[in-house]
Structure formats: C-alpha cells, structure tokens
C-alpha cells in the first residue's frame, strides 16, 4: 500500500497504526506562531472500534490500509465461522470469525445483505442494515385489546435476539427492529 | 463533484465587509504616517526557516532559467527598503506557505507587515494592540503581557528554560500521545504550546506573549530576561486561542543573520528538507546598515475572521486553497 503524509490525511482515509487498520475520523492542522507544525488526528481502530487521538509531526507518514467495505449476503454458520457471499454476481464467499462478527451474531439472517469490512481480503467486521425484519419465536401470549397502556415484555426472535415488544405481540409475527438500538419499531 | 464548486468560499457580504476592514487598516497607517509599499512576491532568496515550506518555480529571466521563491513573508524586501532609508513602512502582502491548510491556515494568505525604525518592541506591541482593537467590532477585553516562561509554569508546572529534556519529552508524550524519544527541546515546547497553551490564550482579552526561548528567535535579537535567561526579543499576540501577530526587535548584525541562515539550511539537511537559497541581498543590506527597528507580521485573514465572527478562514477569503 501507498504511504500517506499528514497533509493527505482526511476523514475516511484508511491507514495502519500500531499494526491495526484505522479509519481517520478527523484531522486538524495546528502550528505555533513559529515552529514545528502538528496534526491532531482522531482515528477509529477498525479491529476494536475504539477511537484514538494521536498527534503527528506534520509531514510524517502512515502506511495505507487495504480496507474495503463490501455488500454481502449472509449464508450460514458452521459452528465456527460465519459465511457470506458477494452480491456482485461473482458468488465469491468469505468466512468471518467470531471476532469479526462481534455482537452482531444476533442480527444475522440468511439472505439479508450486510456490509462486510475486509482488511487484506479478510473480514474484520460486519455491519447489519439499520433495520431488519425478524420473526418472533418465543414470547408470552399476546393480550388482546391491551394496546394503550404501553406495557412491554421480552420477545425472542428467530436470530436469537431478545427485544422488548408491546404486550399484544404474538409468536409467529414478523417485527421490524432497529439493529443500532435493539428497539422494536413495529410490525413488519 | 458538487456543481457549485466554482462558487467563492466567502459570501459576497463578507467580501464587502472584508474590503471595509482593509480600508480601515490602510487609513490607520496613513494617519500615522507610514508609507505603503509593495514588494515582490517572487524573490531569488526564500525563507530558510526549518518549519516553513517554501514554494518555488523556474522562471526565465535575463540571466536564463532561474529558481525564484514565492515569499513566505515580505520581510527581506521590506528590510532592504528600511536599509535604503524608507522610514516607517507597511504592506498588505500575499504570502505562500506550502502544506499549510486547515481551519486557520491557507497556503496563500494576506499578511500585514510593518516596521517602525527607532521603536522598542513594547511600543510596537502597543500599536498592534491598538490596530487590532480598531479592526474588531467589539471590545475584546483587557490586554495582558505575559512571559512564555510564566505560561508554561502556570499551565504545566514546568520551566521551559530549565526543565530537563526528559521532563519535556515525557510531558509532550503525555499530551500528544506520540513517540518523543528523539525530540529536541523545541519540538516538545512547540507541541505543548500548540496543544495546551495556545488554546487557552486570548480568552479574556488580548494576550501578548513575550520572552521566547532564544532557540526560537528566528530573525529577532536575543537579550537576557530578568531571571538571567537568554530570550528572544519577540512577541506573539493571541485572541480567542488564535495567533494573530508575531513581532521582533529586528536582528541588525549581518554576520549573525548569515550564520542563522546557514544553521537553518543545516537543520533542513538533517531533516531531509530541501535547501532554500538564502537572501544574500538581505545580508548585504544589513552590512550597509539597517536602522534599529521593531517589525511585526499580522495575519489579516485571521483578524478579519475574528472581526466578522467567523470560525474558519475559508469563510473570509474569496477562494480558499480548497477551491482556488
């Protein structure tokens, strides 16, 4: 990969720092009246999701990171790895490990498209769509007519996720859920 | 590509307000009897300053193909005018510094530079203060003169002149989260100044920082301060955390000037930075004799930005480096 100098840093640029691929979030150029100039850089470590704040002397360089975000469909899990397939017609498959899947296992549904972040052609993270439709597989029986008082109960969905739903929801219903907050949005 | 990328980066009302501010500045100097001058943007010499990256170009001149340097400040030419007996002069100059792009930086910018033969640094700093107040619409609060040393003592509990290099590197590492093992004292001080001290300056009024380390003298004289440390006879003026102006009790000795140019180019070599042709005309002018004087450079775009209550230089220049 090419090296990037601090004056090429901009939001979205992917670089290597301390051995991990990072996404530049913000880059600020600072310079005392006379003297050495610096760049204050905020970077998101793509392996851990953590945001780092680092200072560089202006003109220093970082190696670019071969990172790509690609749309892929979830296929199946073989007990160890999770398999995805490119949706560009190539049918090319990628296997993601537990680390790449992280907390998103509970949002994985077959034939749904996810954004897979590849580093050196290996999946390092999986981003589910913001909203996903999932079937309720387990919940207390629905209470007819009890739609007004705003009570809620837990419901287990087909992917294993548990969300709070209104009391009138029954097993077998398909719900729309916000994957960012884990909140019930409505009936699908 | 957005299809409005041809548009000016500043609004037309701002460009009008800017023109008004420039008229105010010219009137200020004309009332005080300074001569407005214009000096070349291209010179045979460039700034050797290690931390300034000069732009240059090849031009066809009567002596053939020559490298000419876009000036990072009009200082050399203006000093040659002073040595030739111009008396007090000012200039609204276009200057160029490669790679400097940010909220408060633009590769090309407008610098107001003026020189006062026979004036002390304190007199000049008072005049800069008066001008700034003249250009700003609102009262920025009182003016404070503060020593570089006292800023570091108060903010970080260390003396920038006497603290050990290890102490400075530790502090710079802590603040910047950056490997500082190989750093010089000035590298560390520059980082602490930029990241810790500058943002606090000029918050309650106009701050005039004086008595810089002698290693940061640039083109200023050095002197001993009240604690007996060798300091640079320089000031910098801050408002709202922004450095507005940089003033010197100007170096007059030709030999010393030449030595500083050479030292700069040596330091550039060590950092793998390109050599810059030093201005031998300036050295010759100092040999011929320049009157003792104080001089200052002020970032006009920054001052106008503050006067018009904007937060970004782009908002007060017609076309910024991003869409020029």
How far off is chain B from A162, nearest CA to CA, in Å?
Answer: 41
How far off is chain B from A9, nearest CA to CA, in Å?
Answer: 11
Q: Which residues of A touch B (CB under 8 A)?
A: 7, 28-38, 40, 52-59
pLDDT band at A143 (very low <50, low <70, confident <90, very high): low
- pLDDT tens digits for B212-238? 999 998 889 999 998 899 999 999 999
- Cβ of B190 within 8 Å of Cβ of A7? The answer is no
- pLDDT tens digits for A51-68? 999 999 998 999 999 999
- Cβ of B198 within 8 Å of Cβ of A30? The answer is yes
Name every chain B residue with its beta carbon within 8 A of the beta carbon of A30: 102, 194-195, 198
| Distance, CA of A166 to CA of A184 (rounded, Å) | 9
User: What per-residue confidence (pLDDT) applies to A149?
Assistant: 62
pLDDT at A83 over 70: yes
Q: What is the DSSP string of B78-117?
A: HHHHHHTT--SEEEEEEEE-TT--BTTB-SEEEEEEEEEE
Alpha-carbon B146 to chain mean position: 18
Helices and strands of chain A, counted as H and E runs: 1, 16
- Cβ of B49 within 8 Å of Cβ of A31? The answer is no
What φ, ψ does residue B150 adopt, rounded to 5°? -70, -30
| Distance, CA of A26 to CA of B324 (rounded, Å) | 23
The mean pLDDT value of chain B amounts to 95
Name every chain A residue with its beta carbon within 8 A of the beta carbon of B177: 52-55
**Strand ranges across the sheet with A67-77:** A93-96, A82-86, A67-77, A113-119, A122-127
Q: Is A103 exposed, middle or buried (0-12, 13-18, 19+ CB in 10 A)?
A: exposed
pLDDT, one tens digit for every residue, chain B (324 residues) = 457 889 999 999 999 999 999 999 999 999 999 999 999 999 999 999 999 999 999 999 998 999 999 999 999 999 999 999 999 999 999 999 998 888 899 999 999 999 999 999 999 999 999 999 999 989 999 999 999 999 999 999 999 999 999 999 999 999 999 999 999 999 999 999 999 999 999 999 999 999 999 999 888 999 999 889 999 999 999 999 999 999 999 999 999 999 999 999 999 999 889 999 999 999 999 999 999 999 999 999 999 999 999 999 999 999 998 889
Q: Among A29, A33, A54, select the one facing B102 at the smallest CB separation.
A: A29
Beta bridge partners of B250: B220
pLDDT at A11 over 60: yes
How far off is chain B from A54, nearest CA to CA, in Å?
Answer: 5
Name every chain B residue with its beta carbon within 8 A of the beta carbon of A52: 177
- pLDDT tens digits for B26-36? 999 999 999 99
Which DSSP state fits A55? E
How far off is chain B from A81, nearest CA to CA, in Å?
Answer: 37
B204 SS3 class: coil
| Distance, CA of B132 to CA of B239 (rounded, Å) | 10
User: What per-residue confidence (pLDDT) applies to B3?
Assistant: 75
pLDDT band at A144 (very low <50, low <70, confident <90, very high): low
**Which stretches of A35-167 are DSSP H helices?**
98-101
Name every chain B residue with its beta carbon within 8 A of the beta carbon of A7: 99, 101
CB A114 within 8 Å of CB A106: no
B189 SS3 class: helix
How far off is chain A from B51, nearest CA to CA, in Å?
Answer: 5
- Cβ of A34 within 8 Å of Cβ of B216? The answer is yes
Residue of B nearest to A26 (CA): B102
pTM, rounded to two decimals: 0.83
The strand ranges marked E within B118-213 are: 143-147, 206-213
């Amino acid at each position: 990969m090419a090296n990037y100098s601090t004056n090429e840093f901009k939001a979205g640029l992917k670089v290597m720092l301390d051995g991990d691929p990072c996404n530049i979030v913000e880059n600020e150029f600072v310079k005392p009246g006379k003297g050495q100039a610096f760049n204050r850089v905020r970077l998101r470590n793509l392996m851990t999701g953590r945001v780092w704040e680092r200072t560089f002397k202006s003109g220093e360089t970082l190696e670019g990171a071969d990172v790509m975000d690609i749309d892929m469909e979830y296929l199946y899990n073989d007990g160890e790895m999770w398999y995805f397939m490119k949706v560009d017609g190539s049918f090319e498959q990628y296997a993601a490990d537990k680390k790449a899947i992280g907390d998103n296992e509970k949002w994985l549904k077959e034939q749904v498209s996810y954004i897979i972040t590849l580093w050196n052609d290996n999946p390092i993270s999986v981003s589910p769509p913001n909203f996903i439709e999932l079937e309720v597989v387990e919940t207390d029986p629905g209470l007819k007519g009890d739609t007004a008082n705003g009570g809620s109960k837990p419901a287990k969905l087909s992917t294993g996720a548990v969300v709070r739903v209104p009391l009138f929801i029954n097993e077998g219903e398909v719900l729309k859920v916000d994957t960012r907050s884990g909140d019930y949005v409505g009936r699908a | 590509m957005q299809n409005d990328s041809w548009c000016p980066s500043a609004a037309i009302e701002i460009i009008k307000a800017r023109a008004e501010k420039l008229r105010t500045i010219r009137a200020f100097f004309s009332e005080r009897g300074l001569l407005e001058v214009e000096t070349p943007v291209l010179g045979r010499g460039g700034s050797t300053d290690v931390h300034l990256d000069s732009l240059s170009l090849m031009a066809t001149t009567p002596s053939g193909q020559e490298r000419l340097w876009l000036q990072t400040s009009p200082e050399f030419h203006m000093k040659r005018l002073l040595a030739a007996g111009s008396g007090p002069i000012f200039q609204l100059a276009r200057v160029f510094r490669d790679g400097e792009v940010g909220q408060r930086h633009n590769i090309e910018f407008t610098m107001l530079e003026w020189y006062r033969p026979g004036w002390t640094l304190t007199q000049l700093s008072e005049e800069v203060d008066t001008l700034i107040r003249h250009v700003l619409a609102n009262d920025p609060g009182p003016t404070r003169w503060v020593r570089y040393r006292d800023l570091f003592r108060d903010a970080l509990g260390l003396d920038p002149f006497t603290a050990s290099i290890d102490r400075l590197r530790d502090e710079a590492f802590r603040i910047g989260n950056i490997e500082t093992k190989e750093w010089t004292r000035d590298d560390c001080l520059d980082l602490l100044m930029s990241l810790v001290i500058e943002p606090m300056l000029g918050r309650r009024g106009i701050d005039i920082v004086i008595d810089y380390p002698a290693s940061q003298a640039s083109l200023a004289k050095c002197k001993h301060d009240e604690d007996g440390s060798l300091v640079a006879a320089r000031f910098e003026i801050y408002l709202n955390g922004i450095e507005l102006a940089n003033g010197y009790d100007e170096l007059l000795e030709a030999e010393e000037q030449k030595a500083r140019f050479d030292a700069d180019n040596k330091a550039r070599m060590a950092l793998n930075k390109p050599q810059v042709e030093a201005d031998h005309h300036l050295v010759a002018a100092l040999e011929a004799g320049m009157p003792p004087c104080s001089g200052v450079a002020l970032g006009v775009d920054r001052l106008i930005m503050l006067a018009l209550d904007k937060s970004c230089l782009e908002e007060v220049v017609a076309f910024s480096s991003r869409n020029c």
